[in-house]
A and B are shown apart, each in its own frame.
Chain A
Amino acid sequence: MAENDAVDEAVDLPVVIMDDDFEISPSKRLPHLDSPTARAFAAKDLRDGNEYIFALICDGNAPLRDSVLMKLKLLPNPEILRLLEFGAVDWPEDGQRHKVVLLKKPLGGALMPKLGGKIKPLGQTMMMNQVLKPVASILGKLAFNGITHRAIRPDNLYYGDSTRSSVMLGECVSAPPGYNQPMMFETIESGMAMAAGRHAGTPADDIYALGVTTLILLLGRNPVPYLKDEELLHAKIVQGSYGVLVGKNDILQSMREPLRGMLCDDPAQRWGNDELQMWLNGRRQATTRITPPAKAMRAFRFNGNNYFTTRALANALAGKWDTITASVNAEDIANWVDRSIGDDDGAAAVNMVAGKSLDKGGDSLKSSLMAARVARLCMALDPKAPIRYKNFSAVFDGLGPALAANFDDHNMVHTIEELLLHELPLFWLGMQKGTTGEHPARIRLAKRLIQYVTKPRLGFGIERCLYELNPTQRCLSPLISHAGVTEIHQLLPAMERVAQPGKTPPMDRHISAFIAARFAGDVNESFVAIADKRDNTRPTIGFLRLIAVLQSALGPPSLPRLAQAMAPGIKDIAENYYNRPLRRQVMAQLRKLMEQADFVEIYNTVADGATRGADAQGFADATRAHAAITAEINFLERGGGTDPVRARQNGRQFAAGLSMFLALVAVAAAAIISL
């Protein structure tokens, strides 16, 4: 494959500048560097003029591999495609914001450009020296840095130079772990999960994929092209991976040893990087014994087929969840596990599921309860398998990517909501044995997720789960989706851009959940107020408080368009003050504050709780005083202030008093005169 073989697109699109450092040419496609979920385009490093780089523009909703992006950027190594930068750009082709990954171009082409195609089989020496040695080396370094690749397959291995003397790993960040891996490259446990529901796994998962890759490169073709994914999974469960994939294919005996080690289905017995390195260095290993899973003496018959292992039965049950009726008796399965397989713990776990009653609710609820029961039954039978509920299957760590990748599928989202409401993740976590130190944190997370979906109010719901589980998930609100908001500090500027004067300010379940998941402060009170429809001003006050809190913590200092959009509501709040002088004072201040668009000041002036409380209290006091005064006036107007009897009495008393006074004066005067 030629290395500089950019294909010009028919439409001439403007170049895209990313972070002022990179230039991406939407018109120059590099299809040979595409990944299954991302298209490759020519790019240029503007810092040094290097044109030997390319950009992967990611399509779809599946998130990037957040946890390893930064680690890989800081890990330049010739044995893996160098990650230069990652982020998001506005893509001129569709006007949408896309995730983008910038990588150095490989000097050679892919070892196997198309997985379904055929290539010249690689010899053992070339396989060992040019493929396995460098790949084992980089896998060791990745494992040292806590990274699993999870995208090892022949079309993601590139020749490191034009002479094809060495091989390098392709990228592994443009999709969730294992997302782009065909079922064949996944272990049985991971293969049972839907593509987006797989986990980052351990280096043992990479070794397994390397084993399958080695086999394909040795054969030059897919060893089982005739098997569909479901059939291949069933065959792996029944015969074991090595038996199905290697089978009777013409493989050198010397290569069968590493294949047996790498394709061992038991992760504990599977070769690790150390064993592989030792084998590559010529130290032969003891032949890996592949221990088959515990097989029943007597088959369990289900749906016309006989099943001898719990995993095979669980896989069959999970695949037929929609046709299973109450006739499948969990107690029978428990007895079979106990008596035919001799697994007491497994039987106890199945019995626990058998105790759950289904005799409540309507058909829809019964169907959902039955599906949940089947899911629990599958977990009890095969605890290492992913959570399988209806047509959803994912390991716990894969819930986030699976939710993100399928968020535009209403039915799938509803299914995930249901499985959380049935508390299946908690049950699954409870079934896991030999748990790691992360187990308690996973249980806490599962409880939080369940809490989110049980509360449908703003800031909660399945949307909250989406943003909690996917730290770099962009906000999917239709109001600001084109802005590609992935971090909380980008939210207010995005809302500012779409805000329109006189129209309702942008707020929906996605924006609220995004804020709740990303912002450290307490915003629940604001969401409760925004959703409160009892009073027209409460939602505006809630929104005002929310924007004020965000603006105060994250900026920007001025949000004029949002202020204009909220102007009518803010005016209503100001006019809602009872006290007229205070209202006039607030309105006068508001004109100036609206120009400054500082929501903290606007909130403190217009909607401060203490001021509003004092105003309401003052109004209540005034109302009582008004009523009392009115009653007093009415009393006086009805003549209540006058008492004729008393008035006459007082008049007479006054007359007597005046008489006495005048008499005393007269008597005294007469007496003086007579002297």
Chain B
Amino acid sequence: MTQKTNQSHGVAMTSIIQLLFGAVALGAMIFALPSFLLLVFAMLPTFGAYVIDYNPNRSLTRSVGFLNFAGAWPFLLQLWTGSNSVIQSVKMLTDPYAWLLIYSAAALGWLFYLGFPSLGLVFQDYSAEQQAKSLRIARKKLEVEWGDEVMDRGH
């Protein structure tokens, strides 16, 4: 019963967030169309990641999204400090250098997402081995202090 209630709460929250996001996007489209256009195209990798990210905590989306946004950020600043027009926005979107920078940043986030779990496994193995090693030293110390009988009786 409690689980069902939690699930229904989660669904409701997601709907509210999606609704807010839609409202913000609609507001941005009406009041900041150049920035909106730039971000829609710049953040495509993040949208893609969001679509395929089944992780409950959305770690792929966050890994790609933060760096993807950081890649788009200099161009947003340039737009805001410039004419802030749809033309300038389109101009930026047609600049290969801009694409390279924005999507490389997103790719780096993706690489992080793909690479770090393997590194975690390696680290965990190393940690367990270190723990086993220190336990073996402690066990040997017991055997030296109390003799082999301590091993026989323990088994």
CB within 8 Å of B: which residues of A? 578-581, 618-619, 622-627, 629-630, 632-633, 636-637, 639-644, 646-656, 658-660, 662-664, 666-667, 670-671, 674
Residue of B63, B138, B155 with highest tally of chain A CB at under 10 A: B63
Known: A659-B112, A674-B81. A654 touches B120 (CB 8 A): yes
Taking a contact as CB atoms under 8 Å apart, the answer to whether B143 and A626 are in contact is: yes
Does chain A have a CB within 8 A of B153?
yes
> Which of chain B's residues has its CB closest to A639's CB?
B128
Interface 9-residue window, one of B28-36, B52-60, B86-94 = B52-60
Contact A663 B120 (CB under 8 A): no
Across-interface contacts of A622 in B (CB, < 8 A): 142, 145-146, 150
| Nearest Cβ on chain B to A655's Cβ, whole angstroms | 4
B64-86 interface (Cβ within 8 A of A): 64-67, 69-71, 73-74, 77-78, 81
Closest residue of A by beta carbon distance from B146: A622
**Contact B70 A626, beta carbon cutoff 8 Å:** no
Contact B135–A652 (Cβ < 8 Å): no
Given contacts A625-B142, A626-B142, A651-B117, contact A662 B66 (CB under 8 A): yes
Q: Is the CB of A663 within 8 A of B151?
A: no
How far is it, in angstroms, between the C-alpha of A670 and the C-alpha of B129 when the chains are bound?
43
Q: Which residue of B lies closest to A636 (CB)?
A: B132
Question: Is A578 in contact with B131, judged by CB distance below 8 angstroms?
Answer: no
Q: How far is the CA of A339 from the CA of B118 in the complex (A)?
A: 116
Interface residue? B15 (CB, 8 A): no
A623 to B55, CA, bound (A): 46
> In the bound complex, how far is the Cα of B136 from the Cα of A648, in angstroms?
28
A576 to chain B, nearest CB (A): 10
Render B90-128 as a binary contact track against A, CB cut-off 8 A, 1 for contact: 000000000000000100110011011111110111011
| Partner of B67 from A651, A659, A670 at Cβ < 8 Å | A659
Asked if B116 and A642 make an inter-chain contact with CB atoms under 8 angstroms apart, the answer reads: no
Residues of B within 8 A of A659 (CB): 62-67, 108-109, 112
B116 touches A666 (CB 8 A): no
Given contacts A655-B59, A656-B63, contact A642 B121 (CB under 8 A): yes
Knowing A626-B139, A659-B66, A663-B69, the reply to whether A651 touches B146 (Cβ < 8 A) is: no
Interface of A is mostly: helix
Other CB < 8 Å A-B pairs besides A622-B146, A664-B66, 8 of them?
Answer: A624-B154, A630-B155, A633-B132, A642-B125, A647-B121, A655-B113, A656-B63, A674-B77
Which of B109, B120, B128, B135 is the one whose CB lies under 8 Å from A648? B120
Chain B residues positioned under 8 Å from A624 (CB to CB): 154
Contacts of A656 in B (CB 8 A): 57, 59, 62-63, 66, 112-113
Closest to A628 in B: B154
CB distance from A623 to the nearest CB of B (A): 5
Between-chain CB contacts (< 8 Å), 27 pairs: A579-B146, A623-B150, A623-B154, A626-B139, A626-B150, A629-B138, A633-B135, A640-B128, A641-B131, A647-B117, A648-B117, A648-B120, A649-B117, A651-B121, A652-B116, A655-B112, A658-B63, A659-B112, A662-B66, A662-B108, A663-B67, A664-B66, A664-B70, A667-B69, A667-B73, A670-B73, A670-B77
Q: Is the CB of A658 within 8 A of B145?
A: no
Are A652 and B146 in contact (CB-based, < 8 A)? no
Q: Which residue of B lies closest to A620 (CB)?
A: B153
Cβ–Cβ < 8 Å partners of A641 in chain B: 124, 127-128, 131-132
Chief secondary structure at chain B's binding surface: helix
Chain A's nearest CB lies how many Å from the CB of B67? Answer: 5
| B154 smallest CB distance to A (angstroms) | 4
Determine if B27 is an interface residue (Cβ-Cβ < 8 Å): no
Complex CA distance for A458 and B141, rounded to whole angstroms? 44
A residues near B144, Cβ cutoff 8 Å: 580
Q: Interface size bucket, B side?
A: 35 or more
Q: Which of B22-46 contact A (CB under 8 A)?
A: none
Report the Cα distance A670→B78, complex, angstroms.
10
B10 at the interface (CB under 8 A from A): no
Closest to A634 in B: B132
With A622-B145, A627-B155: A663-B117 Cβ-Cβ less than 8 Å: no
CB distance from B65 to the nearest CB of A (A): 8
Instruction: Please state if A651 and B120 are interface contacts (CB–CB under 8 Å).
Output: yes
B56–chain A nearest beta-carbon distance, Å: 10
Q: Judging by beta carbons under 8 Å apart, are B136 and A633 in contact?
A: yes
Name the A residues within 8 Å of B154 (CB-CB).
Answer: 623-624, 626-627, 630
Interchain CB contact (< 8 A) of A652 among B117, B129, B139: B117
A356-B30 Cα distance, complex, nearest whole Å: 125
CA distance A626 to B60 in the complex (A): 45
Tell which of B124, B135, B139, B150 touches A642, judged by Cβ atoms closer than 8 Å: B124
Docked pose: A627 CA to B135 CA in angstroms:
11
B48 at the interface (CB under 8 A from A): no
- A578 with B124: CB separation less than 8 A: no
State the CA gap A639–B127 with chains docked (Å).
Answer: 11
> Closest 4 A-B residue pairs measured CB to CB?
A641-B128, A651-B117, A651-B120, A648-B117
Closest approach, in angstroms, between the C-beta of A549 and any C-beta of chain B?
A: 31
Docked Cα-Cα span, A644 to B119, in Å, equals 11
Q: In the complex, are the beta carbons of A666 and B135 less than 8 A apart?
A: no
Nearest residue (CB) in B for A648 is B117
**Nearest A residue to B65 by beta-carbon distance?**
A659
Could you tell me the distance in whole angstroms from the C-beta of B128 to the nearest C-beta in chain A? 3
Q: Is the CB of B62 within 8 A of A660?
A: yes
Q: Which residues of B contact A649 (CB under 8 A)?
A: 117
**Cβ–Cβ < 8 Å partners of B121 in chain A:** 642, 644, 647-648, 651
Closest to A654 in B: B116
The minimal Cβ–Cβ distance linking A626 to chain B, given in whole angstroms, is: 4
Contact A630/B139 with A578-B149, A655-B115, A670-B74 known, Cβ cut-off 8 Å: yes
CB <8 Å contact, A652 and B59: yes
Inter-chain contact A580/B59, CB cutoff 8 Å: no
A660 to B70, CA, bound (A): 9
Provide the bound-state CA to CA distance between A663 and B105, in Å. Answer: 9
Q: Which chain B positions have C-beta within 8 A of A642?
A: 121, 124-125, 128
Indicate if the CB atoms of A636 and B135 lie closer than 8 Å.
Answer: yes
- Asked if residues B131 and A636 are in contact (CB atoms below 8 Å), the reply is yes
Q: Are A666 and B59 in contact (CB under 8 A)?
A: no
Instruction: For the complex formed, measure the closest distance between the CB of B112 and the CB atoms of chain A, giving whole angstroms.
Output: 4
A623 to chain B: which residues have CB within 8 Å? 146, 150, 153-154
Contacts of A579 in B (CB 8 A): 145-146
Is there an interface contact between A633 and B139, defined as CB atoms closer than 8 Å?
Answer: yes
Give the distance to chain A from B80, nearest Cβ to Cβ, in Å: 9
Q: Which residues of A contact B125 (CB under 8 A)?
A: 642
